[in-house]
Structure 1
Amino acid sequence: MFDLSCRTSWELTFKLQRMMPTCEHDLFCMQACDPGMRDITLGPQMFKNVTDFSTFLLDRSSGVLYLGAKDAILAVDTNNLNQQPRKIVWDVPEDKRKSCVAKGKTEVDCNNYIRLLEFLGDGRIYVCGTYAFDPHCAFLEQSSFTLEKTEDGGIKTETGKGKCPFEPAQHYTAVMASGILYTAATSNFLGTLFDISRATGPEQERIRTERSINWLNDPEFVSSAFIEASADANPTGDDDKIYFFFTEMAKEYELYTKVKVPRVARVCKSDVGGMKTLQRRWTTFLKAQLVCEDKSSDRRFNVLKDVFTVQHSAGDPSSTHFYGLFSSQWEPEDVSAVCIFSLTDINKVMDGSFKELKKNCDNWMNPEPPPTPRPGQCLNSALKAEGFESSLKLPDKVLTFVRDHPLMENSVTAAPVLVRRGIGYTKLAVTLTGRGAVLHLGTDRGEIHKVAVVGQNTTLLQESPVFPSNEAVNNILLYQGWALVGSPLSLARIQAEGCALFSSCTVCARARGLGCVWSNEEEACSLSEKDPGPGDVVDAALKKCGSLDGRCSPIIQEMRVSLGQRLLLPCVQLSPRPCSWQHPPHRLTRQHHTDLDVTVTEDSLGNYVCSCQEGGPSVRDPTTCLRATYHLSLEGPTVGGSKSPAGSRHIIAVYILFFFLGSLCAVIIMYFVNRREKFGQHQAPDTSLSSDKGRDFTASFVSPQSPSSTSLFSKVFQMEKQNGTTTSTTTTSTLLSNQGNGGPHSSSLSNSKPSNGINGNSSSGELKLASEMLVGNVVGRRTVERASPGGGEMESGEGYGMVGGLGDGSNEGLKGLEEELASFPMFRSSAPLAPCEESSI
């Protein structure tokens, strides 16, 4: 059992650890075999409840890994993981923690999270922590693994503002260049000010960015790199440079939605600021946009997650490449992409034209020509010969220009070498081989994915679990063929280089492009010096393994389906090149990225083949690769017992028949109702109070001069504007004059003689009509104005008083109804606006 657990891959070791919760992490395997030769995972039990690891610092000479955690610093010997890690406790005093909580922060955040670990070069490590939202820095002696003390025995500290973030989760990056610390972090308690600064060194040389949204606009810092110019390959005497990678809100895009844009910024090592303009500010700060775009699908990945810096040729800084890990602001699902940017392309953009950020009306102004010497240029031998030995001697016009033009016109563009959907990658590391590169990608579910990139082709090699699914990978360091992988709670050491890490013939065959060959005699994967040769080397190697499922010759997958079922047929394509499907001709399909959405019918049964373009000998010569093949067939009777879609068609026909029959009945009923209304209009009035017609509102108020009751409020209360004064129509007056002719309790509303009045109207019916007329008038914000008996015009509101002539207390009832309706907001009249009144929003 011990030999089995140590011979198997580290995935099985991880499973065995979870099956034995009482054991220390990996002590089981470490006691059974040589820990220096196996993949190992250390968890919370090994670290004695020290959590929240966020920072890695590796001493490559000794193999000691320093871990920055919450209130502690750990030192782990990666060559002897059986040894208990050393620990330094650096926590926050209780009174300072309470003060932090009183300022509105949580108790969890009011601790000391170690965010910075950097070598000083004199046997010490510079350590900085959040220290309850008041960043502090200290000095760690490597030999004794202790923090420097003051004379009274306390920890010797200095301010960490501008060197370390205030919050434990804030985006942050730092790099050491010749013993001087360069950082990109927030610089205030609220986290609203951002600086890229030279944080250590002589006080007069500590400079930072200008506080302007043209320089930094709500950035999320990701990574930084110090590129030291080689003395042999630097004939111009150019200065060393520091590069910062971040994502910020785009100032140049004036859209309603905030657009995130990935950037690369560059400053020069010898920059000390200007004499008058840009004092204690960068005079060489320039930034450019990074574009990771798949032109075939017109999709751009605009959120930068991580950057890994590597030299493609050892000892040649000009061969430096930056592997960027991106996601998308616009994708509803997780999507990850990897783009590669060269240092040469970045410097070419930095030496190009400047973008003009000043705006005149809605047109961008033409940029003014840059002055001489070129703004943002690093000092070199030619400038020093002209008398510019320092940035302090640069003219004000040069400094003013670079202050107002930090952004470059052109962008650094690259096409993605890998695109994965549905997977959230968090960290990236790269191993170079003789024929290509291996990407080590950490996920947000505690996994490490290995992807081979050879020329234009990308192949997924392994997907291996390292930590529990709730622990995201937040650190990856490469050291002597190993990958040191970290999460907030655990640490793992896994094999990262060499063909020997591929433990099966199938996985080894997928790495054939890297030069790996499987040996059946030794049952091992090893590196071969022979060239893989032309053609699809992966498929040829898979056939030697006896695998029918090749990389470009997949086996047919039989799928038993039911009618009406909805399927999503996957087609995994790592590269961004397009994929197409061949399937039976029917309309119930929709391609979602590379996958195919299918609704099963009788016409959709058959074969489905996904073909993707792969990289050939050149970019313009792609080859076709079959990625997936499916065969859909019926599994038996469909859900609901219907044997064919004919049954469903019959049901639909019955529904349609009932619909038409119902419509016909409705037309007939409406016809007879119309006939009855017309017949009632020519009948003699019924003078009996017990008549049923007198209780019917619709029939009791119909007259030859009034409209039909079905359109009472749509026509009766129409208002017209005459000579600038709003008056009611004749129809309204006619209705008012006809309303008073009724039973013994009604009274006349005007002196005009009623015509064709209808008797049998009770006072309740009159009250109901009057109230509804009142509602119509109030809603229309108009007052009924009609001629008074004296020949003059009725005053506003006079009509309501005449309605009050109704007997039996109707006057008080209508007044109460008017007051009640006026209390509703919908019936209140808003204040009118003056003509041509302007408002600012």
Structure 2
Amino acid sequence: MTPGGAMLLILLPVLFLLSGVSWAATVSELEDVHNQAKVLDPEKFEGVSNFSTFLLERSSGVLFLGARDAILSMDTNELDKPPRKIIWDVPEDKRASCVAKGKTEVDCHNYIRLLEFLGDGRIYVCGTYAFDPQCAFLELSSFTLEKTEDGGVRMETGKGKCPFEPSQHYTAVMAGGILYTAATSNFLGTLFDISRATGTEQERIRTERSINWLSDPEFVSSAFIEQSADSNPTGDDDKIYFFFTEVAKEYDLYTKVKVPRVARVCKSDVGGMKTLQRRWTTFLKAQLVCEDKPSGQRYNILTDVFTMQHTQGDPSSTHFYGLFTSQWEREELSAVCVFSLSDISKVLDGPFKELKKNCENWINPEPVPTPRPGQCLNTALKAEGFESSLKLPDKVLTFVRDHPLMENSVTAAPLLVRKGISYTKLAVNQRGSGEETRGVVLHLGTDRGELHQVEVVNQNTTLLQEIPLFSPQEPINNILLHKGQALVGSPLSLARVQAEGCALYPNCEVCARARGLGCVWDTEEEACRNTDAKPGPDDTVDDALRKCNIQEARCSPSIRELRVYLGLRLLLPCVQLSPRPCTWEYPPHRHTRQHHSDLGVTVTEESLGKYICTCQEVEPGVRDLIPCRRAAYHLTLTDPEAGETAAMTGNRHVLALYIFFFCGGAALGAFLLYFMKRRHTSGCKGHRLPDNSLSEKGLGSSATPQSPSSASLMSEGFRLTEKRNGTATTNTTTTLLSSQGNGSHHGNSYSGNLIHCNPSNGNGNALYANCNTSSSGLQFAEILAPEMLNGRTGERERELGEGDEVDKELRDGLGEGMKGLEDEFASLPMVKSAAPLARCEESSI
């Protein structure tokens, strides 16, 4: 054992003692989670992991899960029952051939990316099959894959139906028993197609191989909009919509600009006779713009889309809820915009964009021929003799080939903007129907295993709950709504959460915030109940909040008194859900810095006083923005003499502790080094080690690789980790943020498993490798002085009172002593050496 190892043994009890608080918080949080949701243990799946695709049989409640080398079936009504399992893996020789072609062994499995009902008692199943996509048929009655005469799985090629690589973005939808897909179509992943992938050979058509049609797209979602006879008097053809992000070719900029798109094809399209043979003749696309016009912030990366009919049975009432982020923001950012089908149809029926250039000048646009290019077949066109796309004239097909992009964009303002959080999946349910619609509830999955529920009434959003479901290493990649419940999936597990009804809101404050959804708090039963009565002038969210024990309204929070000391760094939280601006009022000084909507403050004599955060909201029938106070604080200086006394006492205790451990560690390390040197000298019969043997085989050596699941405390440095708004942050800045949600790391590592998320309607995935980055030096985080006060649901609030001053000063002294210990260790040569880096997989879904 090296002296560094001896020092590590000495430090372990101290580190375990400090981490005990975090562990206890984690256990408490997990107990709260299981009271709200049914979360399955990953061990229940018997080693099957990497769940990427969900398919629900709504009549029976049976959920089918596509995983790595396996397909599972579970009864969502009885999750305690063990799942049924089908193994569909890749032969060893085929996996070896895949690895020989330069692919990783982890990727050379069969990742099930497609599960779709065929309507004849079977499910169409497709997997990557070691970079050679294959499809099979699953018999529902026997839950087995169809076999050939020799007993093997009956397979057919999956090229064009399923991606080659687990990491590739992908989406598919079944329309009338025919599969429509958007995927890569070659081994290298450089060719992209939106195609009709099944049916007769003559009807299998795809997009033109042109950057004007598809330019390095990342497919997200797809939807089949079927017209009913009653709502379709013109006999218009049914349509399939695809949502994706691609590199824009209409902008002349020095960098690649990504834009979100919606594309449309028609179900009866069979291609052209001469021009566009076996190609779409109805492919049109338009840009989606999710922009907050007052601030000019635009969100241009599409992450997920949820399709919902606002009026059941009326396809024209379809709305698409899009989940966005920004290409230009360095920090995590998520926004939600909603687009109506009618707005998309208007843009696709509008003018075409002219992309051709001549001498760097835009030329005059070509005249639009008749019949209109890209138009779906309807009764009028059939009456003119165009019963099929094969009869369209060449001038129409040539025009649509050269003009797939529309001039106008489909625009919407964001319903929700959250900074510091990365959302991965979105599902929406509506309260009420038709004219009685009260609002919608957004169910948002994060990349850290949390489910957030956000109420949207009129143009105002309210955060209702933040529910931690899985460990921070498990992103949520599937959300399905069924019978008032949300089935939430991660790459390793499954959870069932109550999604509808006022009864899911656990306390008076959350129930009051859901007043716009028709919820009221019953004081006798102490439960949240549903009411059909519409809120009156004296029955608002603010009035409902005042009836709760907190005695404060949504826009008039009570002032939190914070007792601070000079030099303390604070982060005052102010929850901003809408994209409308938030401003701070505070004493005039220069020791503040705004972090998104929160405010960072370094305490000085000039910075004491009141801090008030005010955001803008919209009231029904009122055009102007209404100011709403979201947070209020008052900073007062704690007793300086008590602080100095406590600090000196704490410093003396910490110094004595430091001297004891340092001397003991040095003595033990010297003894072990002497003992090992004597033993090695006798074993080598007099051969001496070179002078640099310690640096070669000691702590700084890379000869001993670290496992990602067991990072070295000396190489990574022990840090107190906290989470704000769903994002883990590790720093030495004392903040006012804490969380009862998933703020404490659960310590779970899944080395050896391929973990991925699914940001595209159950089919597009993103792989998250579980790696630890190492840094030299031992660091101790500053002990938190005042705890955080926050209006967010699921986060703790605690005010520092008079009785906490002594404890606070003791913690301050301990923090300064720890800093001295950190500096002393940083000066040691063994700590300055470069720490070994953990090896991890970089491929991602």
Common fold: TM-score over 0.5: yes
Which residue number corresponds to residue 327 of structure 2? Answer: 329
Structural RMSD (CA): 2.2
1:99 aligns with 2:97: yes
Matches of 1:565 and 1:466, distance apart in 2: 34
Query: Which amino acid in 1 is paired with 2:482?
Result: Y
Is the aligned partner of 1:485 residue 2:494?
no
Kindly state the Cα deviation for residue 368 of structure 1 after the two structures are TM-superposed.
1.4
SS in 2 for 1:370: coil
Amino acid at match of 1:95: D
Match of 2:524 in 1: 521
Separation in 1 of the partners of 2:642 and 2:251? 53
Work out the CA distance in 1 between the residues paired with 2:559 and 2:612.
Answer: 9
Residue number in structure 1 paired with 2:348: 350
Which of the numbers 514, 524, 529 marks the counterpart of 1:511? 514
Report the equivalent of 1:170.
168
1:605 CA displacement: 2.0
1:636-666 Cα distance to aligned partner (Å, 9 max, x none): 549999xxxxxxxxxxxxxxxxxxxxxxxxx
Aligned residue for 1:784? none
Of 541, 544, 547, 1:544 maps to 547
CA offset at residue 633 of structure 1?
Answer: 2.2
1:193 and 2:191 are equivalent in the alignment: yes
SS of the residue aligned with 1:412? strand
Match of 1:290 in 2: 288
- Helix, strand or coil at the partner of 1:326: strand
| Deviation per residue, 1:108-143 (Å, 9 max, x gap) | 100000000000000000000000000000000001
Q: In 2, are the aligned partners of 1:439 and 1:452 still within 8 Å (CA)?
A: yes
1:121-520 alignment to 2 at 5 Å? 121-434=119-432, 435-520=438-523
- 1:573 paired residue among 545, 558, 576: 576
Superimposed CA distance per residue, residues 671-726 of structure 1 (whole angstroms, 9 cap, x where no aligned partner): xxxxxxxxxxxxxxxxxxxxxxxxxxxxxxxxxxxxxxxxxxxxxxxxxxxxxxxx
Q: Once the 2 structures are TM-superposed, how far is the Cα of residue 13 of structure 1 from its aligned partner?
A: 14
Amino acid at match of 2:330: P
In the alignment, the residues of structure 2 paired with residue 523 and residue 536 of structure 1 have an alpha-carbon distance, to the nearest angstrom, of: 19
Alignment CA distance shift 1:291-1:639 (3 Å): farther
Describe the SS at the equivalent of 2:606: helix
CA deviation after TM superposition for structure 1 residue 596, in Å: 2.7
Stretches of structure 2 lacking an aligned partner (at least 5 in a row) = 1-23, 433-437, 645-845
- State the shift of 1:548 in Å: 2.9
Amino acid at match of 2:599: L
Pair 16,125 (structure 1): closer, same or farther in 2 beyond 3 Å: farther
Structure 1 letter corresponding to 2:262: V
Structure-2 change in CA distance of 1:377 and 1:14 (3 Å): farther
Greater shift in the superposed pair: 534-543 or 302-311: 534-543
2-side partners of 1:565 and 1:503: how far apart?
36
Match of 2:56 among 29, 44, 58: 58
Once residues 563 and 254 of structure 2 are traced to their aligned partners in structure 1, the CA distance between those partners, rounded to angstroms, is 48
Q: How many residues align?
A: 617
Distance 1:619 1:178, change over 3 A: farther
Shift, 1:571, TM fit: 1.3
Alpha-carbon separation, structure 1, partners of 2:419 and 2:124: 40
Post-superposition CA distance 1:737-787 (Å, at most 9, x none): xxxxxxxxxxxxxxxxxxxxxxxxxxxxxxxxxxxxxxxxxxxxxxxxxxx
1:553 and 2:551 equivalent? Answer: no
Judged with a 3 Å threshold, the aligned counterparts in structure 2 of structure 1 residues 390 and 591 are, in CA distance, closer, same or farther, namely same
Structure 2 letter corresponding to 1:184: A
* Structure 1 residue runs without a partner (length 5+): 1-11, 30-37, 642-841
Residue 58 (structure 2) pairs with residue 43 (structure 1): no
Aligned to 1:634: 637
Q: 1:43 Cα shift?
A: 2.4
* Aligned AA (2:423): Y
C-alpha distance in structure 2 between counterparts of 1:333 and 1:628, whole Å: 23
SS at match of 1:525: strand
For residues 575-604 of structure 1, the C-alpha deviation after alignment (integer angstroms, 9 at most, x for no partner) is 111122222233444444322343444333
Give the 3 Å change call, closer, same or farther, for CA 52–150 of structure 1 in structure 2. same
Letter in 1 for 2:426: L
- Answer yes or no: is the 8 Å Cα contact 1:563–1:638 preserved in 2: no
State the alpha-carbon separation in 2 of the partners of residues 360 and 254 from structure 1: 14
Deviations 1:201-247 (Å, cap 9, x if unpaired)?
Answer: 01100000000111001111000000011210111110000000000
In 2, Cα distance between the equivalents of 1:544 and 1:361?
Answer: 70
* Residue in structure 2 matched with residue 596 of structure 1 by the alignment: 599
Q: Kindly state the Cα deviation for residue 619 of structure 1 after the two structures are TM-superposed.
A: 6.0
TM-fit CA distance, 1:366: 2.9
Partner deviation per Cα, 1:154-206 (whole Å, 9 max, x = no partner): 11000000000111121100000000000000000000000000000011000
- Cα displacement (A) at 1:539: 1.7
Which residue of structure 1 aligns with residue 749 of structure 2?
none
**Cross-structure match for 1:680:** none
Relative to 1, partners in 2 of residues 1:189 and 1:145: Cα closer, same or farther, differing over 3 Å? Answer: same
Hey, what's the Cα distance between the residues in 2 that align with 1:494 and 1:328?
30
CA distance in structure 1 between the aligned counterparts of 2:402 and 2:383, rounded to whole angstroms: 27
User: Offset at 1:14?
Assistant: 10
The answer for the alignment partner of 1:620 in structure 2 is: 623
Q: Distance in 1 between matches of 2:380 and 2:27?
A: 63
In structure 2, do the counterparts of structure 1 residues 126 and 534 end up closer, same or farther at CA, with 3 Å as the change threshold?
A: same
Q: Where does residue 794 of structure 2 map in the other structure?
A: none
Q: Deviations over 1:592-637 (max 9, x none)?
A: 4322343444333211111111111236232221001111222354
Match of residue 87 from structure 2 = 89
Greater Cα radius of gyration, structure 1 or 2: 1
| Alpha-carbon distance between aligned partners in 2 of 1:394 and 1:616, rounded to the nearest angstrom | 51
- Higher-RCO chain (CA-CA 8 Å, sequence separation at least 6): 2
Kindly state the Cα deviation for residue 519 of structure 1 after the two structures are TM-superposed: 0.8
C-alpha distance 100-157 of structure 1, shift in aligned 2 (>3 A): same
- Aligned counterparts of 2:565 and 2:26: Cα–Cα separation in 1: 40
Name the CA shift for 1:619/1:319 in 2 (closer, same or farther; >3 Å): farther
Q: CA deviation at 1:524?
A: 1.4
Q: Deviations over 1:524-557 (max 9, x none)?
A: 1111111112368222111111213432111212
CA distance in 1, matches of 2:265, 2:26: 44
Between the aligned partners of 1:303 and 1:180, the Cα distance in structure 2 is 29
Cα separation, 2, equivalents of 1:497 and 1:582: 38
Specify the code of the residue in structure 2 equivalent to 1:458.
Answer: T
After TM superposition, the structure 1 stretch with the greater mean CA deviation from structure 2, 86-95 or 607-616, is: 607-616
| Structure 1 residue aligned with 2:536 | 533
- SS in structure 1 opposite 2:45? coil
The letter for the 2-side match of 1:570 is P
Does structure 2 retain, via aligned residues, the 8 Å contact 1:14–1:466? no
Q: Where do 1:639-658 residues align within 5 Å?
A: none
